[in-house]
Structure 1
């Protein structure tokens, strides 16, 4: 009965995404601030402001991620890039194993996803159905479910994907996709949830950006604000300062941040918000025909 209910919700989603037309091929696109695109700065239901990885940084504490979704074409009007960087600064509830971001095709196929926890999983499926599930990259031996802040960068290029955690741990896995992979942008992007799963994200997220090309993933930790500019911060596990690794002449560009940030208020180091039931009704931002 429960499975039928989930399938019914998926069917409610399809009329919208099928009516968005044919997705064009990617011809170059700017960086996409996913949090801004999903209206995090306006604090939708289940989202509130929290302290980020540095005391002066603004993050968002999420308790009902099933309400955070948008049409993929709204984020990627020119198509999804073949090679790209996915960058996030995130802190999950201890012991959590849940998706951070999921991208669905018009047919409801999960094309892209990043699942945090122990282990970390990267999910990818192009227009040809490659790679098959047994070949999906799994990063064992890494845990992002310890309740600590982590900087995570994913670099997807050619037939491989590289995961960089806390500017130090770097692991590469094969990604046997087709030579000319395409991701359908006629579907939806969902934060912190999957359509047919009960697992949902709980925690804080400060940044979530997708950038064409892989250079951004390898330069993620060279950002000036990594040092918190003289303020004390909670350092990710086993992370060392990279101040000596950056030339004084280098001025890396900052990734785009949400606007209209309010003054920071004190919050508890961690509280456990109550998660509402997932996938009840349609996703906000998605209307039935």
Structure 2
């Protein structure tokens, strides 16, 4: 999907401006807390706080999540998530409950020229969209996960591990599916464009549902550790790095 540069410029205008101290501390985090970077905890229009994955959790307060409605329009310059280079091998991890029957993108990263370089589709037989600086892989070669439904109205722990020329989906801490990712060597993602949550630009269908976590780590192993280190079962406390008080997010 290519967006006209003039439209891309308009989307960059309402970006949240952070003070330098907060921005620097945010950019040094690994994994990157995408919801925090996009200011979702400040509850912009179309977002409200709701109970999360665990309504009671051992040794800590219950989880909370963010309900995303059709009205929500959440985006920011990708530089607010990654100060330097986007990692070549990485993990994307989400704890999410998409509206049943949905077929929409949870996250999209666009280049400065408005080309979608990365996207995670929710729904039946979801696609992992990835396009490097040389346009590889071609759209017909995007990894497709047949027989999986990520939008059935239930909570799912979804982790994607991107390593070399493969992507592995780990679903609910057990199901593993690996697909080829025929990208080029030294593949790059441009960080001079924008990151859009819950949609692809110009798509009519947008993400609707609840989300508790959305993390991007600069190593492919993190996806395999998601359930243990970042999103444990309800009989374990949340890791300190995932403290959920939204007041700690606001600079």
TM-score by length of 1: 0.73
2:53 and 2:219 map into 1 onto residues whose CA distance is 25
| Contact 1:29/1:212 (8 A) holds in 2 | no
Map 1:1-289 onto structure 2 (within 5 A): 11-14=6-9, 30-55=30-55, 56-64=62-70, 66-223=72-229, 226-229=232-235, 255-260=241-246
> Could you say which residue in structure 2 is the equivalent of 1:246?
none
TM-score by length of 2: 0.83
Seen in structure 2, the aligned counterparts of structure 1 residues 189 and 261 have a Cα distance that, compared at 3 Å, is: same
Once the two structures are TM-superposed, the CA of residue 254 in structure 1 deviates from its matched residue by: 5.5
1:65 and 1:32 map into 2 onto residues whose CA distance is 25
1:80 and 1:127 map into 2 onto residues whose CA distance is 12
| Contact 2:230/2:242 (8 A) holds in 1 | no
Larger radius of gyration: 1
State the superposition RMSD in angstroms: 2.4
Seen in structure 2, the aligned counterparts of structure 1 residues 98 and 183 have a Cα distance that, compared at 3 Å, is: same
| Contact 1:90/1:149 (8 A) holds in 2 | yes
Between the two proteins, the alignment pairs up a number of residues equal to: 226
> Could you say which residue in structure 2 is the equivalent of 1:273?
none
| Contact 1:90/1:204 (8 A) holds in 2 | yes
| Contact 2:3/2:113 (8 A) holds in 1 | no
| Contact 1:88/1:209 (8 A) holds in 2 | yes
Render the CA deviation track for 1:83-133: whole Å, top value 9, x for unaligned.
000000000111111000000000110000000100111000000100001
Once the two structures are TM-superposed, the CA of residue 14 in structure 1 deviates from its matched residue by: 3.8
Once the two structures are TM-superposed, the CA of residue 255 in structure 1 deviates from its matched residue by: 4.7
2:95 and 2:54 map into 1 onto residues whose CA distance is 11
Once the two structures are TM-superposed, the CA of residue 139 in structure 1 deviates from its matched residue by: 0.2
